[in-house]
Every structure is written in C-alpha cells, then in structure tokens.
Amino acid sequence: MSKRGKFITIEGVEGSGKTTQATLLSDYLRKEGIDVVETREPGGTEIGERIREVLLSPAHAGLVSPAELFLFLAARAQQVSEIILPALGAGKWVVCDRFCDATMAYQGYGRGLDINIIRSVNELATGGLVPDITILLDLDVEIGIRRAVSAKREFANHASGDRMEKEGPEFHRSVRKGYFELASREPDRIRVIPVSGSVEEVHRTVVSLIKPFLVKRA
C-alpha cells in the first residue's frame, strides 16, 4: 500500500498570488518526482465548479451569508470525497488553492458568522481532514483587490470583480485579520509569507517551507 500523500493548502486575501504560487509549487514538486493533484476551492469537481459560478457571480448580490456558507461547504464536501481523499490515499500530494481556513476567515471573520459553528460544519464537510501545511500569503488588502480586479479585466471575466471582490475594503481587512488570528492559533501548520518580493522570491520561500516534508519522504 502506498504511503499517504501530503496535503498542502494555499490561502490569502484577494490578489495575493495564491493561484500562481500553487502552480509553481505543483510544478516544483513534480520535478522532484512527486505525483501532484492541483485543485481549488470552491471548485475542483464538476459540481463544485457549478457551485463556484453561483457563489462568484456578481448577479447574486442577494445571496445571504448562511446560504453562502453552505454553498462553500457543499463544494468542499464533494471535493474532499471525489478528489482529495482518493488522491492522498493513492500516495499523491494535493495542492489546494484555499480550503477550510478560507471559510473561517471570510464567512467567520468577514461575514461575522459564528466561528464555532463554522468549525463544526467544516469538520462535517471534510470528515476532519486537516492540511499538513498551509501557506498564508499576506498582502495589504487595497493592493490585493486592485491586482485581482485588473487581472480579471484582462480576461473580461467579471470585469469589475467577482461577488466577493466587490465587497468593500473593511470586509477584506476583517478577512485578513481573521487569517492572522488563525495563524497565531496554529503557527506550526499555518505559515505566513509576506508578499513583498517578486513571484520567484515568494516561490523560493514557499519551497523552503515545504522542503522538510520532502526530506522526511526520502
């Protein structure tokens, strides 16, 4: 039987470069001979990608916070069962762009829903699966939102930002504060990287944090 793979998640405020870093890290791990599944939340499965469209469409401005929470969790439950657990069980490593910490930060600290309830429902959606390591990319929220919206404009996709990006800076500041709070509670798992240098510099820092897992595997 193959050894269980590692589960790595990448988190951060809007425009922090998670997706770029997830891809760079996955490519790096593949060069190290690791079988990697790269995925994202919400999404990753056919059902999850449809839920993503509902969640991010600016047309759904009226979505109430508990409904938003349950939709993120529905996408997560599907993804854990269909993609993440089978991959880890087969010895593959999984790099996931956002996971449970995003729900704590956005729906808990951002929307103000009860943190303990979110912790419980996250557990229900994941069966208690916790990442081996979480990389938290940190950036000033105003800079991040500007970056995220202008990146999307290039692809004419939600040209003025998706439903979450359209929230005001106050919301995103609460999310960032939430992420810090989570990192201070679990400093061994959640490792904060300030996004001040170039993409390559951030990537090198990410790799330095992942290296201990590679050494243990050898």
Q: Of 33 and 146, which CB lies nearer to ligand TMP in the complex structure? A: 146
Give 151-157 contacts, CB < 8 A, sequence gap 24+.
Answer: 151/15
Beta strands in the chain (DSSP E): 7-12, 36-40, 93-97, 133-138, 190-194
The binding site for ATP comprises 12-19
Helix 18-31 / helix 199-217 crossing angle, nearest 10 deg: 40
Per-residue x/- marks for ligand TMP, 53-92, CB under 6 A?
-------------------x--------------------
Q: Is the dihedral of CA 78, 108, 40, 4 positive or negative?
A: negative
Could you tell me the two tokens for 14? 């809007």
User: Could you tell me which stretch among 34-42, 82-90, 177-185, 190-198 binds ligand TMP (CB under 6 A)?
Assistant: 34-42
Query: Is 51 among the residues that bind ligand TMP (CB under 6 A)?
Result: no
Does residue 158 belong to the site contacting ligand TMP (CB under 6 A)? Answer: no
Residues 176 and 126: their CA atoms lie apart, in Å, by 23
Binding to ligand TMP by residue 44, rule CB under 6 A? no
Q: How far is the CB of 125 from ligand TMP (least distance, A)?
A: 10
Tell me: does residue 126 bind ligand TMP (CB under 6 A).
no
Query: Least distance from C-beta 33 to ligand TMP, angstroms?
Result: 28
Q: Which of 164, 183, 206, 210 binds ligand TMP (CB under 6 A)?
A: 164
CB 139 to ligand TMP: min, Å: 13
Strands 190-194 and 7-12: unpaired
Q: Which amino acid is at 117?
A: I
Count Cα atoms within 13 angstroms, Cβ side, for 125.
25
Q: Which range binds ligand TMP by CB under 6 A, 25-33, 94-102, 138-146, 185-193?
A: 94-102
Q: Do the strands 36-40 and 7-12 form a parallel or antiparallel pair, or are they unpaired? A: unpaired
Tokens 């993440």 sit on residue: 84
Q: Segment 172-191, which members bind ligand TMP (CB under 6 A)?
A: none
**Residue 95 binds ligand TMP (CB under 6 A):** no
Binding site for ligand TMP (CB under 6 A): 14, 40-42, 72, 97-98, 102-103, 106-107, 164
